[in-house]
């Protein structure tokens, strides 16, 4: 079953990554304008972090305008920061290419930048990249690597990964088939209010006896206790 990337991680979660004060880099700066001047100067000097945050300010219209020129400049700054190895910029570019905002839509480019940010350990990128690997979006399918990244994602508290990981275990797609492990992840997905879980839950429960279902519940309860805050 093909799935699109959940909006929470495909677009909105990015904003939570940047929830730290945008202008907190220099405590000596007393005004917003001075802080923006500082970010602009650092961006022009090639600082990848400054390029990203100045680009973010332009994209959000934080300087008092939402001109197309500002958004285009934001994309260019993201590209520079991404090429400089800044993971948040790589992730943001992935999102923009995925939805075709400010750039021509390209799933191949989205996959490329999600992969780069995932390699840096950004959990949202790890999940989004896993979805693209599983579904074959923007390139070849690689369910084995998708499963590995889903495992990493759930270990970091990305609840959206419960359902696809459970389905991979149920199918034996990219991992050795394990219906008990599949039900474990589906139970956790159900508790996280995952959408469209009923068919998979019904099929897996129907294939397990009471002992298998009890073991799956035991695993789910045990894992839940270690869920990251």
Q: Is the pLDDT of residue 10 over 80?
A: no
Domain ranges of the chain: 9-121, 142-229
186 or 24: whose pLDDT is higher? 186
**Spatial distance between the Cα atoms of 43 and 76, rounded to a whole number of angstroms:** 11
% of the chain exceeding 90 in pLDDT: 68
**Spatial distance between the Cα atoms of 152 and 162, rounded to a whole number of angstroms:** 11
Regarding pTM above 0.85, the answer is no
CATH assignment of 9-121, among 1.10.1040.10, 1.25.40.10, 1.20.1560.10, 3.40.50.2000: 1.25.40.10
With a CB cutoff of 8 Å and minimum separation 6, the contacts of 54 are 36, 39, 40, 42, 43, 77
The rounded mean pLDDT for the chain is 86
């Amino acid at each position: 079953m093909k799935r699109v990337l959940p909006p929470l991680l495909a677009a909105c979660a990015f904003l939570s990554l940047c929830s730290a004060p945008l202008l907190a880099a220099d405590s000596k700066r007393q005004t917003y304008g001075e802080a923006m001047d500082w970010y602009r100067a650092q961006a022009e000097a090639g600082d990848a972090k400054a390029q990203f945050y100045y680009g973010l300010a332009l994209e959000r219209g934080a300087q008092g305008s939402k001109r197309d020129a500002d958004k285009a400049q934001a994309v260019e700054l993201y590209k520079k920061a991404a090429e400089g190895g800044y993971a948040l910029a790589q992730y943001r570019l992935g999102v923009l290419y995925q939805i075709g905002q400010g750039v021509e839509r390209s799933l191949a480019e989205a996959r490329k930048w999600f992969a780069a940010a995932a390699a840096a350990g950004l959990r949202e990128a790890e999940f989004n990249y896993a979805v693209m690997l599983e579904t074959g979006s923007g390139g070849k399918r690689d369910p084995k690597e998708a499963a590995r990244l889903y495992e990493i994602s759930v270990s970091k508290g990305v609840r959206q990964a419960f359902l696809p990981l459970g389905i991979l275990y149920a199918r034996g797609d990219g991992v050795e088939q394990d219906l008990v492990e599949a039900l474990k992840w589906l139970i956790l997905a159900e508790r996280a209010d995952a959408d469209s879980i009923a068919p998979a839950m019904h099929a897996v429960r129907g294939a397990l006896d009471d002992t298998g279902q009890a073991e799956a519940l035991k695993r789910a309860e045990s894992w839940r206790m270690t869920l990251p805050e």
